């Protein structure tokens, strides 16, 4: 059995979840559901990053202790992911006792081995990023992400020998042993590594964080604390050289603002701890809202609940997944979402399902039964319908998801990719129905319509499975309407489900409710 381990970043709790967080999490959930559907042993980890100076400052402003603040905001993330039907196997919090003990054990090992040493650190520190910056990182003297001027910090600190691992990290990235996608991000990191890496601070003198086991006057810097979640979330106890069953991660999914630390500090820690590197870092872009970056001050932050209240859970998942080519920035907005919802879901998939099941009901009332079609190509009035196109569809769909091209798999599914017409479900069946005119054959009581309707409904069955990772509730409704129990089917062999001809001629077929009511902007 293949294994698949995927992670999101653990989200910093300085604010409630927004659609940028939701985009990462839904994307990871789609990939996790796809691999489970294929029968792979799958583990999906997400969670919250709860230490750091910024959270301490916010808690002080709210006049509560930092643990109370962490509990409150972490719960917002848990609730949002539950509402979005996220299928994570664990939700890790960096304030979990087991995580804290494992981090202390790992840091003690690094200290004992000489990878951590006492020194003094000076640098430009952005409290928004919780990262040190160089002058080259700044734009007009400001952090480009947070638009604030970093503070010059000089303090006694425990330093990590990051410089010692510069060559090994560079070689691993060059050879794709640590694969960074999209490829442009690999080039970016290799350019950054040209001049080597410098030792970095691994501790802070603040009152909120994991205390260093050999010096309780300091706490672990937020990044090494956070990175180790990818191991502790699997039950790792902090023992160097002890590799958890599901490690290494097959995909670390993240946004571009945290790529550099994931491609330098994190692999260096793993090398020092004698653990394998993750296989892949996949970097997705940011969302712009009507051309502007989301900002509280502008008032354009979109919360996941805003979308779910407007479109429903599964439609929200679809809209996020299809908003932009995966790995690139995307410009979104409610008006754009409304247009896509109506075009692809209400008038597209929803209309196809309603139209197809209505035709089936008309055929049954006319006393005509479904006629199962075999593997041979069906040619009716010049319209060729072949099971081979389904085989090609599954291959293209699987290749796209295995390559993390989430938006591409949706384009194939809906038939909106002009290079792959005929592979999708929605456009293909719309054209097939228009060409074969089953309503005319029903009026004429032509029994050939039994074969045509079988082709339509069986292709819809395939489409429901392809939709499942993206819109699991909608897929379940469609499959139930065709007489299948999704939960039971998930326990069967996937290769059997993607074959042609699984739908029974005697299936108890019923028309589902309206799946996607139109949105009036």
Nearest to 147 by CA among 117, 126, 164: 126
Place of tokens 């970043």: 9
Q: How far apart are CA 403 and CA 179, in angstroms?
A: 12
Q: How far apart are CA 68 and CA 57, in angstroms?
A: 13
Examine the residue annotation and report whether 252 is marked as an active-site residue of this protein: no
Question: What torsion do the CA atoms of 263, 160, 242, 402 make, to the nearest 10 degrees?
Answer: -10
Q: How do 211-212 and 116-126 pair as beta strands?
A: unpaired
3-state class (DSSP) for residue 303:
coil
Nearest to 229 by CA among 207, 257, 262: 262
Q: How far apart are CA 521 and CA 4, in angstroms?
A: 41
DSSP 475-515: HHHHHHHTT--HHHHHTS-HHHHTSTT-S-TT----PPPPS
CA–CA–CA angle 93, 98, 102 (5° rounding): 105
Widest pairwise Cα distance in the chain: 89
Find residue 159's DSSP bridge partners. 117, 201
Q: How do 215-220 and 211-212 pair as beta strands?
A: antiparallel
Q: Enumerate residues 6+ apart whose C-beta is below 8 A from 470.
A: 30, 314, 317, 318, 321, 410
At 1, list the tokens: 């059995």
Examine the residue annotation and report whether 383 is marked as an active-site residue of this protein: no
Q: Which of 18, 121, 252, 262 is catalytic?
A: 18
Q: Which of 279, 293, 328, 437 is catalytic?
A: 293
Place of tokens 């709860």: 50
Examine the residue annotation and report whether 462 is marked as an active-site residue of this protein: no
CB atoms within 10 A of CB 54: 18
Find residue 380's DSSP bridge partners. 383
Q: Which helix or strand (DSSP H or E) is residue 10 part of? A: strand 3-12
**Structure letter (DSSP) for residue 208:** S
Task: Compute the residue count for the chain.
Answer: 521
Q: Which of 2, 41, 113, 146 is catalytic?
A: 146
**Residue 244 burial (C-beta neighbours within 10 Å; 0-12, 13-18, 19+):** middle
Q: Which of 51, 121, 126, 262 is catalytic?
A: 126
Examine the residue annotation and report whether 129 is marked as an active-site residue of this protein: yes
Nearest to 262 by CA among 9, 1, 516: 9
Q: Which of 63, 136, 175, 296 is catalytic?
A: 296
3-state class (DSSP) for residue 123:
strand
Q: Which helix or strand (DSSP H or E) is residue 385 part of? A: strand 383-385
Q: How far apart are CA 17 and CA 77, in angstroms?
A: 6
- Helical H runs in 181-333? 183-192, 222-227, 229-232, 259-262, 265-272, 304-311, 313-321
Q: Which of 35, 143, 185, 387 is catalytic?
A: 143
Q: Which of 51, 121, 129, 262 is catalytic?
A: 129
Nearest to 238 by CA among 111, 140, 120, 325: 111
Q: Which residues are catalytic?
A: 18, 21, 126, 129, 143, 146, 293, 296
């Amino acid at each position: 059995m293949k294994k698949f381990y995927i992670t999101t970043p653990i989200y910093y709790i300085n604010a409630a979840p927004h659609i940028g967080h939701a985009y990462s999490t839904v994307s990871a959930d789609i990939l996790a559901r796809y691999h489970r559907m294929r029968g792979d042993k799958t583990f999906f980890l997400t969670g919250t990053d709860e230490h750091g100076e910024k959270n301490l400052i916010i808690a002080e402003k709210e006049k509560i202790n930092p643990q109370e603040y962490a509990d409150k905001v972490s719960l917002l993330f848990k609730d949002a992911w539950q509402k979005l039907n996220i299928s994570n196997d664990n939700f890790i919090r960096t304030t979990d006792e087991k995580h804290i003990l494992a981090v202390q054990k790992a840091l003690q090992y690094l200290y004992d081995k000489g990878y951590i040493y006492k020194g003094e650190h000076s640098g430009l520190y952005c409290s928004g990023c919780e990262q040190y910056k160089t002058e080259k990182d700044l734009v007009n003297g400001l952090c480009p992400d947070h638009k604030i001027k970093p503070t010059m910090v000089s303090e006694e600190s425990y330093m990590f020998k990051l410089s010692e691992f510069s060559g090994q990290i560079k070689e691993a990235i060059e050879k794709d042993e640590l694969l960074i996608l999209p490829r442009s991000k690999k080039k970016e990191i290799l350019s950054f590594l040209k001049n080597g890496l410098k030792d970095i601070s691994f501790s802070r003198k603040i009152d909120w964080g994991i205390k260093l086991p050999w010096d309780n006057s300091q706490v672990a810097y937020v990044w090494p604390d956070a990175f180790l979640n990818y191991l502790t979330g699997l039950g790792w106890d902090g023992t160097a050289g002890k590799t958890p069953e599901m490690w290494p991660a097959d995909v670390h999914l993240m946004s571009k603002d945290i790529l550099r630390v994931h491609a330098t500090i994190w692999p260096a820690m793993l090398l020092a701890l004698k653990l394998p590197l993750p296989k892949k870092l996949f970097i997705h872009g940011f969302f712009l809202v009507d051309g502007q970056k989301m900002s509280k001050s502008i008032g354009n932050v979109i919360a996941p609940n805003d979308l779910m209240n407007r479109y429903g859970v599964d439609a929200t998942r679809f809209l996020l997944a299809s908003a932009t080519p995966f790995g690139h920035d995307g410009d979104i907005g409610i008006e754009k979402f409304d247009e896509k919802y109506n075009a692809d879901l209400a008038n597209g998939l929803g209309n196809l399902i309603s139209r197809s099941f209505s035709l089936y009901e008309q055929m049954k009332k006319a006393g005509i039964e479904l006629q199962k079609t075999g593997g041979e190509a069906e040619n009716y009035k010049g319209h060729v319908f072949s099971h081979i196109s389904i085989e090609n569809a599954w291959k293209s769909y699987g290749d796209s998801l295995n390559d993390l091209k989430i938006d591409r798999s949706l384009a194939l599914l809906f038939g909106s990719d002009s290079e792959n017409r005929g592979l999708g479900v929605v456009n293909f069946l719309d054209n097939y129905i228009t060409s074969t005119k089953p309503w005319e054959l029903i009026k004429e009581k032509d029994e050939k319509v039994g074969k045509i309707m079988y082709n339509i409904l069986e292709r819809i069955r395939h489409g429901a499975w392809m939709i499942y990772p993206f819109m699991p509730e909608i897929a379940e409704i469609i499959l139930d309407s065709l007489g299948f129990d999704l939960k039971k089917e998930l326990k069967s062999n996937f290769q059997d489900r993607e074959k042609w001809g699984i739908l029974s001629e005697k299936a108890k077929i019923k028309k589902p409710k309206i799946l996607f009511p139109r949105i009036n902007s």
